[in-house]
């Protein structure tokens, strides 16, 4: 079984707790919720992503014989292992739609299932949702400052492993990117795949122009030539003499790529060289350790750049490589539960989240309430799985992207900045929820 599908991709304590629940016949229904405890610095909002991979993981989740055999060697009990043989997740899941903008303390996902079933999912569930949400929330920052430009995900080499690279391509596409360089991501998620050439191809030829010619002839579609291996402006001039030779063969130089140096200066200089030779249609694509701040600078300065390749800073969410998200037990056997650990206390009970919009469709406030409450607003948690069967069909990624960008369109403009907003988005708690929390606190003190 491939590692990403294995139920052993979990923390040991999920299994020992599960053995505990099984041993003591604790089979009551539990509700767990996933939420982020606080916004990282430099984020005014987050973007939910990863639900598709979670649902497919949960639906297929089972223990293989060989895995059970291995667990036996680790000292798990026969009774428990027999139970694992027939393990299937049979619970319900409510979740936000992928691409939904959200804020701290808002449940993005709620699971209700016999406690052992809800517990065993914890580690991998967070692993899947955390990373894609992290990356969608980072990627949208590039979109915020360069929505008119072509944004391409380039981060495979420095993403944290294979799955991170694939998920980063998916999550950034959700958040407004146009394409990825990751071939397998393109195949798996139907994301457009684009690419240029590397310095090595140029270096492997004695003469740069020959490298350009050879590349274009062998790859006549979507020719993008990397022109900074030796001297960017000189290479741009050589492009002028190369273009007619390629045109004779029916090949167009779609774009040139700059990967180093002063990108503002060079893009202007290269643009003027290309224009002077009649290559007004040849686009300029740039890359090289770019983050959203450099993008904002280049876009604001009016540098004639058509597209950006974004790698490391995106795939590692380098300014903020994790979110403080948690998966917490909120209810067991119908009774609300909360944790009181210093600095980590939680809101009890099974919850719903409503969003209010003004007449122009701009988000006004969110309200976190108990699951059974109803408000005249949009309920963001919707059923996506019932009794272990997904009811949310697999969504088209383009559709998710459009939803994300609509969601962004509804966001108050003050939050659409790279810098922290002066006034955060208002998230309120319903009176019933506040009452429940107060009641539990009083009981705890008296107890």
Residues 51-80 that bind its own copies (CB under 8 A): 67, 70, 74-75
Q: Which stretch binds its own copies (CB under 8 A): 180-188, 241-249, 374-382, 431-439?
A: 180-188
Tokens 């000189």, residue located? 234
Binding residue for its own copies (CB under 8 A) from 47, 97, 136, 159?
A: 159
Question: Nearest 5°: CA angle at 127, between 155 and 407?
Answer: 70
Contact, 407 vs 100, CB < 8 A? yes
Question: Nearest 5°: CA angle at 94, between 140 and 427?
Answer: 55
Alpha-carbon distances of 205 from 153, 208, 239, 311, rounded to whole Å: 28, 6, 16, 26
If binding is defined by CB under 8 A, does position 182 make contact with its own copies? yes
Distance of CA 256 to the CA centre of its chain: 29
If binding is defined by CB under 8 A, does position 219 make contact with its own copies? yes
If binding is defined by CB under 8 A, does position 261 make contact with its own copies? yes
Distance of CA 134 to the CA centre of its chain: 5
Binders of its own copies among residues 87 to 126 (CB under 8 A) are 115, 119, 122-124, 126
Q: What is the DSSP letter of 109?
A: E
Classify residue 300 by burial, with Cβ atoms within 10 Å: 0-12, 13-18, 19+.
Answer: exposed
If binding is defined by CB under 8 A, does position 161 make contact with its own copies? yes
Binding residue for its own copies (CB under 8 A) from 38, 88, 157, 406?
A: 157
If binding is defined by CB under 8 A, does position 300 make contact with its own copies? no
Contact, 131 vs 36, CB < 8 A? no
If binding is defined by CB under 8 A, does position 269 make contact with its own copies? no
If binding is defined by CB under 8 A, does position 241 make contact with its own copies? no
> Can you tell me the distance from the alpha carbon of 105 to that of 48, in angstroms, rounded to the nearest whole number?
13
If binding is defined by CB under 8 A, does position 23 make contact with its own copies? yes
Name the residue nearer to its own copies (CB basis): 332 or 356.
Answer: 332
Q: What is the DSSP letter of 382?
A: E
Phi first, then psi: what are they for 232, rounded to 5°? -60, -50
If binding is defined by CB under 8 A, does position 26 make contact with its own copies? yes
Binders of its own copies among residues 385 to 404 (CB under 8 A) are none
Binders of its own copies among residues 305 to 364 (CB under 8 A) are 312, 316-318, 321-323, 325, 327-329, 332, 337-344
Name the residue nearer to its own copies (CB basis): 90 or 203.
Answer: 203
Q: What is the DSSP letter of 4?
A: G
Name the residue nearer to its own copies (CB basis): 21 or 308.
Answer: 21
If binding is defined by CB under 8 A, does position 31 make contact with its own copies? no
Binding residue for its own copies (CB under 8 A) from 39, 97, 108, 164?
A: 164
Q: Which stretch binds its own copies (CB under 8 A): 9-17, 238-246, 273-281, 296-304?
A: 9-17
Longest distance between any two alpha carbons in the chain, whole Å: 88
> Can you tell me the distance from the alpha carbon of 172 to that of 159, in angstroms, rounded to the nearest whole number?
13
If binding is defined by CB under 8 A, does position 444 make contact with its own copies? yes
**Closest Cα to residue 336, out of 349, 346, 326?**
349
Name the residue nearer to its own copies (CB basis): 159 or 367.
Answer: 159
* Beta carbon of residue 201, minimum distance to its own copies (angstroms, whole number): 5
Binding residues with its own copies: total (CB under 8 A)? 105
């Amino acid at each position: 079984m491939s590692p990403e599908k294995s139920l052993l991709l979990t923390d040991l304590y999920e299994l020992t707790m599960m053995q505990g629940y099984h041993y003591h016949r604790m089979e009551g229904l539990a509700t767990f919720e996933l939420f982020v405890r606080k916004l990282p610095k430099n984020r005014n909002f987050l973007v939910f992503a990863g639900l598709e991979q979670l649902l497919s993981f949960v639906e297929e989740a089972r223990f293989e014989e060989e895995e059970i055999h291995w667990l036996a060697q680790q000292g798990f009990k026969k009774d428990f292992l027999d139970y694992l043989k027939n393990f299937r997740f049979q619970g319900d899941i409510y979740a936000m739609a992928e691409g939904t903008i959200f804020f701290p303390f808002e449940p993005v996902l709620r699971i209700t299932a016999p406690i052992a079933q809800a517990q065993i999912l914890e580690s991998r569930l967070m692993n899947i949702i955390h990373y894609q949400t992290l990356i969608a929330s980072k990627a949208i920052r590039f979109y915020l400052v360069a929505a008119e430009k072509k944004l391409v995900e380039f981060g495979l080499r420095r993403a944290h492993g294979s799955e991170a690279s694939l998920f980063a391509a998916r999550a950034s596409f959700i958040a407004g990117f146009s394409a990825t360089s990751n071939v397998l991501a393109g195949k798996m998620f139907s994301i457009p795949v684009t690419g240029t050439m590397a310095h090595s191809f140029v270096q492997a030829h004695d003469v740069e122009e020959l490298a350009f010619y050879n590349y274009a002839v062998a790859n006549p579609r979507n020719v993008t030539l990397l022109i900074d291996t030796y001297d960017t402006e000189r290479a741009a001039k050589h492009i002028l003499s190369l273009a007619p030779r390629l045109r004779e063969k029916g090949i167009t130089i779609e774009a040139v790529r700059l990967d180093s140096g002063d990108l503002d200066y060079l893009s202007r200089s290269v643009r003027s060289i290309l224009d002077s030779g009649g290559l007004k249609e040849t686009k300029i694509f740039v890359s090289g350790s770019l983050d959203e701040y450099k993008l904002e600078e280049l876009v604001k300065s009016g540098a004639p750049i058509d597209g950006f390749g974004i790698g490391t800073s995106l795939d590692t969410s380098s300014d903020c490589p994790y979110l403080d998200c948690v998966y917490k037990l909120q209810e067991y056997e119908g009774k609300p539960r909360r944790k009181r650990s210093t600095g980590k206390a939680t809101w009890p009970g099974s919850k719903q989240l409503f969003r209010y919009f003004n007449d122009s469709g701009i988000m006004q406030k969110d309200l976190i309430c108990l699951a059974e409450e109803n408000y005249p607003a949009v309920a963001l948690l919707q059923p996506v799985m019932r009794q272990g069967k997904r009811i949310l069909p697999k969504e088209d990624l383009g559709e998710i992207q459009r939803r994300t960008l609509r969601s962004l369109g509804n966001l108050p403009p003050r939050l659409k900045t790279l810098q922290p907003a002066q006034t955060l988005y208002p998230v309120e708690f319903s009176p019933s929820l506040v009452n429940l929390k107060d009641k539990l606190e009083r009981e705890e003190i008296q107890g």
